[in-house]
Amino acid sequence: MDVRRLTAAGLSALLPGLGQLFNGRRQLAALFLIPSLIVLLVALMLVTIQSPARLAAWVVSPHVLGLVMALNALVLAWRLTAVGQAFLDTRRPGRAGRLGIVGVIAIAIVVVIPHLVIYRYGTVLGQTFDRIFTSAVLGEVHDRERANALTPRAGERINVLLVGVDSRGKRQTDLTDTMMVASIDPVGHSVSLVSVPRDLIDTPLGDGNVYGPKLNGLLAYADTHPQEFPKGGMRTLQDAIGALLEIPVHYYAKVDFRGFIKMVDAVGGVDVVAPRSFVDPGYDGYGGQKGYSIEAGPYHFNGADAVAYA
Alpha-helical (H) ranges within the chain are 2-14, 18-22, 26-49, 52-59, 62-87, 98-132, 138-141, 218-224, 233-245, 257-266, 303-309
Tell me what pLDDT residue 131 has.
63
Higher-pLDDT residue of 137 and 259 is 259
Least confident of 34-43, 228-237, 238-247, 282-291: 282-291
Distance between CA atoms of 165 and 175, rounded to whole angstroms? 6
Average pLDDT, the chain: 84
Tell me what pLDDT residue 168 has.
63
Residue 86 has pLDDT above 50, yes or no: yes
**pLDDT band at residue 117 using 50, 70 and 90 as cut-offs:** very high
CB contact set of 251 (below 8 Å; sequence gap of 6+): 149, 158, 159, 160, 161
Residue 134 has pLDDT above 50, yes or no: no
Higher-pLDDT residue of 48 and 74 is 74
CB contact set of 15 (below 8 Å; sequence gap of 6+): 33, 36, 37, 40
Distance between CA atoms of 152 and 165, rounded to whole angstroms? 26
Higher-pLDDT residue of 152 and 171 is 152
Distance of CA 209 to the CA centre of its chain: 20
- Residue-wise pLDDT for 237-258, tens only, equals 999 999 998 888 999 998 888 8
Residue 157 has pLDDT above 90, yes or no: no
